[in-house]
Amino acid sequence: MSKAIYISPIDGKPGKPGQVYYPLSLRTVPKPSPQGGELLVKLTAAALNHRDLFLRQHLYPGVTFDVPLLADGVGTVVGAGPNVPSPEQWQGKRVILNPGAGWKDSPDGPEDPAGYRIMGGTKVYDKGTLQEYITIEYSEVEEAPEHLSDAEAAALPLTGLTGWRALISKAGERNSGNGAAILITGIGGGVALMVLRFAVARGAHVFVTSSSQEKIQKAVELGATGGISYKEEGWEKKLLSMLPAGKRNFDAIIDGAGGDSVEKSVKLLKAGGVLSVYGMTVSPKMPFTMPAVLKNIDVRGSTMGSRKEFKEMIEFVNAKKIHPVVSRVLQTELDDLSAIDGLFEDMKKGTQFGKLVVEFGKSAGSKLNYEWSSFLPRILPFISGSTMNSKRDRISTRRVSRSVSRNGHVPHVSDSRRVLEDSWDEGSFQSFDATHYALQTLNKHIERRLAKLQANTVRLKRELWLLQRHIKEFRHPLFENWEADLLTRLIEVAHAHQHKKLPGGVVIGESSFAERENLNHAYSIAAKGIRMPTLRKLGLSEKYHQALQRYSEVAPYRSPNPFQTEFAFAKWLVEVREDRPELYAFWSKLFPVCYDRTVQESASIF
């Protein structure tokens, strides 16, 4: 038999959406038997998602009282159907379940005409993970990464898959990889935290928003470069000022709120930036504004992910040794409904930071990175109280060591017990269990030390970011304006030198402020069209060509007339010449080209 947790109707009938909160009920059902290509998995942990809370409130489509709850789960394979290839290879493996079905590998969406189906509590998929045993197609599981505990492995599937698609598949490689600037809204939820983990591991500069300073600080400890409360007045401008040198806007925003996200993105994203939306918790409507059109903002909806993306996500977690953020782990049995109800209460309050997990089977835990063959004989005497002089104990230890040598992996307790069955009595088994407990304790101590080390690394990263910010702020607050104007003049001079007209029929000196957006676009196109031979004729190097290639980033800061900032910029450059020789050398070289006088001459006129 197998225990499973369902929701139950009140007074025998469904309630009204949003006006009901279905109670949990425990049922004992026949233990399933794997058919065809199915595996039988003994589940050891499962994790909650907001959809599970919505199911209890009848706010989720397809609510049923006949399917166990929850979509996230991890467990051990204990059986296989007749059509499973090499079933012996699956036996005893710890696996993570794909939370959905009906979507194989299409980048666009589910291929199955019936649509995408998610586990837990609905009519469309007859499986859920809040139960002791489950059958599932062998093609729908992935081996759990060894560095993850059962709780962490259970926390990964749904939020990991959703976050992976929203960041990698939707934002794209260029906007989510090394050096990219990414904003994650509403940090604290499971998906947002997995996006944070993925983006940091890919080398991106990650920033977060939240109404809670505590959650922002926790995000920084996890690797975020910085963050801000969206309740602060003018938070968008403050957030942009935090960006690292060379970045004036975000490459991508990963958002789960909706509402006015498009309107906000116009201020925050670069031209052509991506707004990846995986949820709309604020409002089911999200107006698309004209400024977003003019700035070429790309809004991309994202939900869950394909089987292919699930595999890629697990492989990335394994390769980068990523740990999902777990807020609370409840270790209990499935018949403790009040304790499990408490996890739902945590979710209702919204105070959690990370996933809520229930462990109801014996956890395999994280495996130790030690050579048991040399370590076990040294530690066993201290745990068992013996001196390891017993011939039986020495034989037992050698057999464990040989098992490690043959298989090349650290054995679980169950593996080791099988090796020792012919030589240890019950007292020896108790000693071995004590040894295993001691090793787990030591492992936790090492993990705490590693966590402290990671926290120190994060603090150093934060200090480096602050230093870079101070360096950036050392430049004059009008620097972007001056930079944009001088590059604007360079574009005009270069095009005149090439005997070319500016794009769009723009006439130098005859444009109005009202045409600002179109002019910015025209000048940006013109900047891209300037070639190195032209710059060489003007006595300029490759560095100036690179500066022109990023002109679109500074274009919004330019003045209607690029001559109006000449003298102020020149005076400031002369003042900082000794402190900032490289900055002075770069910009002063442009003055004779763009203004027909040296920087000293321009400064003296000011």
For residues 243-254, give the mean pLDDT. Answer: 91
Mean pLDDT of the chain: 83
pLDDT bracket for residue 348 (50, 70, 90): very high
Q: Which CATH superfamily is domain 2-155+324-359 in?
A: Medium-chain alcohol dehydrogenases, catalytic domain (3.90.180.10)
Dist. CA 271–CA 274, nearest whole Å: 9
Task: Write the pLDDT tens digit of every residue in 293-343.
Answer: 888 888 989 999 999 999 999 999 999 999 999 999 999 999 999 999 999
**8 A C-beta contact, residue 436 and residue 413:** yes
For residues 492-519, give the mean pLDDT. Answer: 69
pLDDT of residue 288: 80
pLDDT of residue 422: 44
DSSP string, 224-274: -SEEEETTSTTHHHHHHHTSPTT-SSEEEEEES-BTTHHHHHHHHEEEEEE
pLDDT of residue 407: 43
**8 A C-beta contact, residue 320 and residue 349:** no
pLDDT of residue 369: 32
What is the CATH number assigned to the segment(s) 160-303? 3.40.50.720
Read off the tokens for 254: 């990963």
pLDDT of residue 80: 95
For tokens 């929203």, what's the residue? Answer: 166
Bridge partners, 5 (sequence order): 26
Percentage of the residues of the chain whose pLDDT score is greater than 70: 80
DSSP string, 84-129: SSSHHHHTT-EEEE-SEES--S-SSS--STT--EESSSBTTB---S
pLDDT of residue 518: 75
Bridge partners, 63 (sequence order): 122
Bridge partners, 275 (sequence order): 253, 299
Nearest CA to 250 among 293, 290, 286, 205? 205
Nearest CA to 270 among 245, 293, 236, 247? 247
Task: Write the pLDDT tens digit of every residue in 358-413.
Answer: 999 654 433 333 333 334 444 444 444 444 444 444 444 444 444 444 444 444 44
- Check residues 528 and 426 and name the one with the higher pLDDT: 528
Task: Write the pLDDT tens digit of every residue in 478-490.
Answer: 788 899 999 999 9
For residues 160-169, give the mean pLDDT. Answer: 96
For residues 422-443, give the mean pLDDT. Answer: 60
pLDDT of residue 363: 41
Task: Write the pLDDT tens digit of every residue in 48-71.
Answer: 999 999 999 999 999 999 999 999
Burial class (CB in 10 A: 0-12, 13-18, 19+), 27: middle
- Check residues 291 and 451 and name the one with the higher pLDDT: 291
Given a cut of 50, is residue 252 above it in pLDDT?
A: yes
Can you give the residue ranges of every domain in the chain? 2-155+324-359, 160-303, 372-442, 479-605
Given a cut of 90, is residue 26 above it in pLDDT?
A: yes
pLDDT of residue 90: 93
Read off the tokens for 535: 């710059």
CA distances 598 to 72, 362, 566, 574, 601, Å, are 67, 77, 11, 11, 5
Nearest CA to 321 among 578, 147, 536? 147
pLDDT of residue 254: 94
For residues 199-226, give the mean pLDDT. Answer: 93
Dist. CA 429–CA 393, nearest whole Å: 11
The pTM of this model reads 0.62
Map residue 300 onto helix, strand or coil: strand
pLDDT of residue 462: 61
Task: Write the pLDDT tens digit of every residue in 558-588.
Answer: 888 888 899 999 999 999 898 889 899 999 9
